[in-house]
A and B are shown apart, each in its own frame.
Chain A
Amino acid sequence: MEDTKKPRLMQLIEQHASMIRAVKFDDGSEFHTTDDYRQDRKMTDHEEDEDHWQDDASSFSGVPLQLWSDADINVKLEETPQWNDDLADETELSRLTSMGLLLRAIN
Chain B
Amino acid sequence: MSTKFVRDWRLKQVDGDASGGQPTFKWFRRSRLVAREYACLERRQDVHSPASSTHVLNLLPLLWLQRRGDLSDVSGGVSCSDQVMATLDIKVAFLEVPQHTPLSIKLGSRTWVVLNNLPGQRLGACAWYWYLRAFLDESLQFEFCSLQPCLARTQECAILIHVDDILYVGGLKHWDEFKERL
Find the residue from A51, A70, A88 having the highest chain B CB count within 10 A: A88
Chain A residues with Cβ under 8 A from B57's Cβ? Answer: 41
Would A54 and B58 count as touching, CB distance under 8 A?
Answer: no
- Please pick, from B28, B32, B119, the residue contacting A60 in the complex, using a CB distance under 8 A: B28
Q: Is B116 an interface residue (CB 8 A)?
A: yes
Work out how many contacts link A and B, with CB atoms closer than 8 A: 108
Which of A40, A70, A89 is B5 in contact with, Cβ under 8 Å? A89
B54–A96 touching, CB < 8 Å: no
- How many positions in chain A have a CB within 8 Å of any CB in the partner chain? 42
Report A-chain residues with C-beta under 8 Å of the C-beta of B113.
102-105
Interchain nearest-CB distance for A46 vs B (Å): 11
Q: Does B100 contact A (CB under 8 A)?
A: no
Given contacts A53-B30, A71-B27, 9 further A-B contacts (CB under 8 A): A35-B54, A68-B26, A69-B28, A70-B26, A85-B31, A87-B29, A89-B31, A103-B113, A104-B111
- In whole angstroms, how far apart are the Cα atoms of A69 and B71 in the complex? 55
